[in-house]
Structure 1
Amino acid sequence: MKQLLVGGLGSVIGVAGFIVTVAVYVVETLIRPKKIVSFADLYKISPFELELPAEAVTFPASNSDHLVNGWYIPYPGATTTILVCPGYRSGMADVLGMCAHLWKAGHNVLVFEYYGHGQEVGKPVTLGYREINDFMGAVAYAKERAPHARLGVIAYSMGAAVAIMCSAHCQDVEAIVADSSFATHWSVIDYNVHRVLHLPAAPFTWVADYLLWWRAGYRFDQVAPLRDIGKIAPRPILIIHGGKDSLVDPRDAPLLYEAAGEPKELWIVPEADHCGAYFADRRAYVSRVLSFFEEHLKKARPRLQLVEGEGTGTMLPGPAERAEEITGLSEAS
């Protein structure tokens, strides 16, 4: 009996140790600063190769003390500005092809990268919590550069999740294309833990949630585009997702679509992986995105307003104001 008890206790300790180890790995991988690991990280395509009249710019993040890197590409006489937002650990060069098409279609373009995810390395990152500050800073900068231009957004992965959360509370954004967004922070972590370990994700993600609060100051449920997307209406949103996405559960796209108000569109590209719809059919992708902005942004119509009570400014409630349902700006990091 004593041997059985000791053996059982050892097994419990071993299982608990395994769960904690995996949880620590999840959290540290999530917030670990980006590093330069190869020449490919340094030598990427720039606006020069595409003959774009881009200006290298920096602007302050909202409610924070760091500067965000971007390229501003003005188009003479443009009545619209499109924000282009890369995803987790991605840089501006990764989305420059789409920027070129948007500019040629007559839009001003502001492409930026979330702090610590692109050129700026060696800084801890989060999965959409502090990055909200950068998006709101980009909105302010775009409005400063072209005050009368109507503002649209095309964003990818984590960037799309951030765009949804911010646009729900920011009436300056009038049309959104969200490519490969996750529905909630919980869902993307669950999906990846289960995909890698082939085990139920719950025990690992529960522990990781508490560790994330200790290490980064926020919890999984504080990043939830699914909770906010309904507040974007009556402004239009186009949701794009790959049917074979290996990083974000493809089932998240229909969830977001169902939660969104009209007008809304859902485009699932069956054979595409994460952020792969563009590469599956470049011509079709560009045509659909440009048509969306042409229809909902460039054509003359009254500026759509947020539903009363759903938020009327460009600032979101912060963690201290809505601790139980944070989708707003995080405190200065």
Structure 2
Amino acid sequence: MARSTARPHSETRRHAPIRTFLHTVDGVTIDSVYDPPSFVYDSSRPPSRDLVFVVAHGFTGDVDRPHVRRVVKALTRYGAVVTFSFRGHGASGGRSTVGDREVLDLAAAVEWARGLGHTRVATVGFSMGGSVVLRHAALYGPESAARTDVVVSVSAPARWYYRGTAPMRRLHWLVTRPAGRLVGRYGFRTRIHHRDWDPVPLSPVEAVPKIAPAPLLIVHGDRDGYFPLDHPRMLAAAAGDHGELWIEPMGHAEHAVGDELLDRIGDWAVTAGG
């Protein structure tokens, strides 16, 4: 008789998600979705009722992209999940500032998640979103309704203006040139702001020491075509004892992260700081 390879939590039942538009403090509307935790049968660890993951997608993503929804489906086995489209992406308003004012978008999503009754928030960001969750955690302290309790940053840069790889040189063309912004708008459904940063925001590596005592997990692929391994190592060094670094056999961000790794991230967030 063939041996079953089904996962212990493979049988699930889910409630319908809730979709709404949030408003940031600077007046941008943010398309947002709340997915309750899955009802899991025969699981060794049922999902946490107090924990909510707030997922920050990468540049040119949005809440409806298949790779973002796959992340949501995996994490609902461990808690509720809030996803949102950053400004300038998908159905959200405004224009992308490529990681600067996006901290306000994340703050609005975290406040909404807490308003739904969840007492623990784990922010999980990918690529641009990975840099945003680091800066957000540094900027919103323990007294803020937009604070986070656990931080997971996947495939994030350590410093701004990096152009050391071909994909990053293409991205800089997309962001800085009028023709590139047209490609972003019509090819990737991403509306990019034409103004330069002023002032330049706190860099991810500068933000990391300000995150403590919140637990921090830094995840990076050993085949990441955008940011080589000196980026996660710089972040981990800046984090010191309160950070944890996983170098994984993968490429870049949501497209590359596998279900097994998402399970480990979910499990880590449930137990971190608990």
**TM-score, scaled relative to structure 2:** 0.73
Give yes or no for the alignment of 1:294 onto 2:264.
no
Inter-CA distance 92–215: structure 2 relative to 1 (3 Å threshold): closer
Shift of 1:277: 4.5
The equivalent position to 2:69 in structure 1, one of 79, 85, 96, is 96
1:232-270: CA deviation from partner (whole Å, max 9, x where unpaired):
112111111112212223321100010013322111124
Q: Is the 8 A contact 2:57 2:129 kept in 1?
A: yes
CA distance in 1 between partners of 2:253 and 2:229 (Å): 9
Of 21, 31, 36, the residue aligned with 1:74 is 36
2:187 paired residue number = none
Letter in 2 for 1:103: T
- Percentage of pairs with the same residue: 22
8 Å CA contact 2:75, 2:263 repeated in 1: no
The answer to whether the Cα contact below 8 Å between 1:185 and 1:223 also exists between their aligned partners in 2 is no
After TM superposition, give the deviation of residue 113 of structure 1 in Å. Answer: 1.3
Aligned ranges for residues 5-154 of structure 1 at < 5 Å? 53-62=16-25, 64-75=26-37, 78-93=49-64, 94-105=67-78, 107-120=79-92, 124-146=95-117, 148-154=118-124
Structure 1 residue aligned with 2:43:
none
Deviations 1:21-40 (A, max 9, x none): xxxxxxxxxxxxxxxxxxxx
Query: 1 CA distance for matches of 2:151 and 2:167?
Result: 30
Shift of 1:177: 0.8
d(CA) in 2 for partners of 1:95, 1:221: 28
Task: Measure the CA separation in 2 of the matches of 1:238 and 1:54.
Answer: 27
**Structure 1 runs not aligned, ≥5 long:** 1-49, 209-213, 300-333
Tell me what 1:315 maps to. Answer: none
* Aligned position for 1:181: 156
How far apart in 2 are the matches of 1:80 and 1:221? 33
Change (3 A) 1:221 1:243: farther
Tell me, yes or no, if the aligned pair for 2:99 and 2:132 is still in contact at 8 Å: yes
Q: Distance in 1 between matches of 2:99 and 2:168?
A: 21
Amino acid corresponding to residue 245 of structure 1 in structure 2: D
Change in Cα spacing, 1:79 to 1:91, as seen in structure 2 (3 Å) is same
What do residues 279-323 of structure 1 show as CA deviations (whole Å, max 9, x unaligned)? 3xx22x0231122112115x4xxxxxxxxxxxxxxxxxxxxxxxx
1:118 to partner: Cα distance: 2.6
Q: How does 1:156-305 map to 2 (within 5 A)?
A: 156-170=126-140, 171=142, 172-187=147-162, 190-192=163-165, 215-219=194-198, 221-279=200-258, 282-283=259-260, 285-296=261-272, 299=274
Asked whether the 8 Å contact 2:167–2:225 carries over to 1, the reply is no
Q: CA RMSD in A?
A: 2.9
Unaligned runs of 5+ residues in structure 2 are 1-12, 40-47, 178-192
Structure 1 pair 95–115 and aligned structure 2 pair: CA distance change class (3 A): same
Structure 2: how far apart are the matches of 1:220 and 1:245? 29
Change (3 A) 1:224 1:241: same
Q: Whole-Å Cα distance in 2 between the matches of residues 118 and 157 of structure 1? A: 17
Letter in 1 for 2:245: L
Partner secondary structure for residue 141 of structure 1: helix
- Residues 56-75 of structure 1: CA deviation (Å, up to 9, x unaligned): 1111112x112100111234
Preserved CA contact (<8 Å) 1:60 1:137: yes
Q: 1:127 to 1:295 in 2, by over 3 A?
A: same
SS of the residue corresponding to residue 83 of structure 2 reads: strand
Q: d(CA) in 2 for partners of 1:57 and 1:296?
A: 29
Matched residues, number: 228
Change (3 A) 1:175 1:193: same
**Rounded Cα–Cα distance in structure 2 between residues aligned with 1:235 and 1:52:** 30
Task: Work out the CA distance in 2 between the residues paired with 1:179 and 1:247.
Answer: 12
CA separation of 1:264/1:119 partners in 2, compared to 1, >3 Å: closer, same or farther?
A: same
